[in-house]
Chain A
Amino acid sequence: MQETKPTITIKGTRDGLILFIDENSSFEEILQDLIKKLDASTPQKEEPVVSVKVKLGHRYLTEEQRHQLKEIIEEKNRFQIEAMESDVIPIKDAKTWLDESQLKVVNQIVRSGQVLETKGDLLLIGDVNPGGRVRASGNIYIMGNLLGIAHAGIDGDQEAFIAASYMKPAQLRIAEYISRAPDYEADGVYMECGIIDPDQNKIVIDSIKTLSKQRKVISAFERRMNNG
């Protein structure tokens, strides 16, 4: 005797619906069942939009499959997919995440004309001299003097920031933002960080102390794990 476990379980919570999708059935089966289930309840017109979370369990969906699923769910009903959560990711993705989240420690002086580029966060023990340049896809921490150019979040991460023991940079760049040193001769600042201020829509330099308020989760890896 074969017990048929439902391929799709729908659960209602205060925040919306949660769709549990069985890991062991085939994707075709799920799509069919899903269409049947959703057809059973035709929405009334003035019904408010319900947010839906899809829990995939140990199932990995390709980008195309995700799209298909989303279309079916959002097509007829007043549903909106809030998140699709899967417990698995491909090894390739995991490796790039790991790569991008690792802290690279470099001990050198980045001299005029030299470029130091890393994936992930960069901890430089040494100075960046005028004309030197450091680039990282994550944050940049400099234990030394930053007198050249630092570019954090080169792949577009606007949450990235640049911190240095002594800061008198020619330019600070975060993602696609650029700020340059003032034209008048100014002294550098100790223990400061550059960060994008969303209110002013530009890079601001502030004391490192304020960083803990603005960036609760420093590691790019944790950020991505939590936000998918």
Chain B
Amino acid sequence: MGEAIVITSGKGGVGKTTTSANIGTSLALMDKKVCLIDTDIGLRNLDVIMGLENRIIYDIVDVIQGRCKLQQALIKDKRFDYLSLLPAAQTSDKSAVTTEGMKEIVSELKQEYDYIIIDCPAGIEQGFQNAIAGADRAIVVTTPENSSVRDADRIIGLIEKENMVEPPRLIINRIRNHMMKNGDMLDIDDIVQLLAIDLIGIVADDEEMIKASNKGEPISLSPNFKSSISYRNIARRILGETVPLQSLEEEKGFMQKIKAFFKI
């Protein structure tokens, strides 16, 4: 019996879809059976980031309206045997998806997969309600900005009313270390204190991430980048391992190290 995790944020553009893709990929790298569900009807992106756009035949609305079987709509990833994607509909009417339909799909997928990662649309309307309907736990993504933290707070309030198995957990995305140090960005501790939920990971703002998303290759596939390690760490924490938060300090060059040594 698998576990369904919804990735949500309230505000748009904080990196829900990228986070979903990378957590899913990282879990698959650890030999877990993972299914990704895109619930952003009309504005689907998850397939693009996963590089699976050209394989879509059926989508989630087709499944709910009975035009195909769930298994037919699932797209198998090109890199992993047990990583699948249930894409959102691009054209269909939004109201086609209901909370009951979502619950059914999720519980069916739970029979076969270890983890169901649900990518939630922005906002708090029906799309959000659908996305959290079948979920067992929630991960809230925020960036170190006031507006995004405010929306995360609102979302956490709504999730807490849902009586999920566990309280939601937090990912702080797009951290720019030098700005945080200067006090131009909200501090990690301040955000955690305000939102009062457990932190499950921090991810630095990384240009490589944009490159990877454009290529349709989630960054967590390549182990050379800091943000890739961040996502893998988050996946390990989801599995219940204790992994310390990585330091966001920039690696210093050789000359800088010597300068620092002599305190120049």
Q: Within residues 129 to 186 of chain B, which ones have a CB less than 8 A from any CB in chain A?
A: 150-151, 153-154, 156-158, 160
Check A130 against B157 for contact (C-beta < 8 Å). Answer: no
Q: Mark A104-124, 1 if CB is under 8 A from B, else 0.
A: 000001011110000000000
Check B194 against A127 for contact (C-beta < 8 Å). Answer: yes
Identify A109's interface contact among B150, B151, B158, B196, CB under 8 A. B196
Q: Which residues of A contact B158 (CB under 8 A)?
A: 113
Q: Does chain B have a CB within 8 A of A129?
A: yes
How many A-B contacts are there with CB distance less than 8 Å? 30
Closest chain B residue, CB of each to CB of A148: B153
| Nearest chain B CB to A132 CB, angstrom units | 8
Q: Within residues 2 to 30 of chain A, which ones have a CB less than 8 A from any CB in chain B?
A: none
Q: Which residues of A contact B157 (CB under 8 A)?
A: 109, 111-114
| Nearest chain A CB to B29 CB, angstrom units | 35
Closest chain B residue, CB of each to CB of A113: B154
Q: Does chain B have a CB within 8 A of A57?
A: no
Q: Which residues of A contact B151 (CB under 8 A)?
A: 112
Check B196 against A112 for contact (C-beta < 8 Å). Answer: no
Q: Which residues of B contact A127 (CB under 8 A)?
A: 194, 196
| Nearest chain A CB to B161 CB, angstrom units | 9
Q: Which residues of A contact B194 (CB under 8 A)?
A: 127, 129-130, 145, 147
Q: Which residues of A contact B154 (CB under 8 A)?
A: 111-113, 131
Interface residues on B, range: 10 to 19
Check B196 against A130 for contact (C-beta < 8 Å). Answer: no
Q: Within residues 83 to 127 of chain A, which ones have a CB less than 8 A from any CB in chain B?
A: 109, 111-114, 127
Complex CA distance for A112 and B156, rounded to whole angstroms: 9
| Nearest chain A CB to B143 CB, angstrom units | 16
Identify B150's interface contact among A114, A131, A145, CB under 8 A. A131
Q: Which residues of A contact B153 (CB under 8 A)?
A: 111-112, 129-132
Q: Which residues of B contact A112 (CB under 8 A)?
A: 150-151, 153-154, 157
| Nearest chain A CB to B140 CB, angstrom units | 11
Complex CA distance for A70 and B154, rounded to whole angstroms: 55
Complex CA distance for A129 and B151, rounded to whole angstroms: 11
Which of A111, A129, A131 lies at the interface centre, i.e. has the most chain B CB atoms within 10 A of its CB?
Answer: A111
Complex CA distance for A109 and B168, rounded to whole angstroms: 14
Complex CA distance for A145 and B196, rounded to whole angstroms: 12
Complex CA distance for A127 and B195, rounded to whole angstroms: 10
Q: Which residues of B contact A113 (CB under 8 A)?
A: 154, 157-158
Closest chain A residue, CB of each to CB of B156: A111
Complex CA distance for A132 and B150, rounded to whole angstroms: 10
Complex CA distance for A147 and B190, rounded to whole angstroms: 13
Q: Within residues 143 to 160 of chain A, which ones have a CB less than 8 A from any CB in chain B?
A: 145, 147
Q: Which residues of A contact B150 (CB under 8 A)?
A: 112, 130-131
Can you pick out 25 interface pairs between chain A and chain B where the beta carbons lie within 8 Å of each other? A109-B157, A109-B196, A111-B154, A111-B156, A111-B157, A111-B160, A112-B150, A112-B151, A112-B153, A112-B154, A112-B157, A113-B154, A113-B157, A113-B158, A127-B196, A129-B153, A129-B194, A129-B195, A130-B150, A130-B153, A130-B194, A131-B150, A131-B153, A131-B154, A147-B194
Give chain B's interface residues, CB within 8 Å of chain A.
150-151, 153-154, 156-158, 160, 194-196
Known: A112-B151, A145-B194; 11 extra A-B contacts, CB below 8 A, are A111-B154, A111-B156, A111-B157, A112-B154, A112-B157, A113-B158, A114-B157, A130-B194, A131-B153, A131-B154, A132-B153
The 7 closest A-B pairs by CB, nearest first: A111-B157, A112-B154, A112-B153, A113-B154, A111-B153, A129-B153, A114-B157
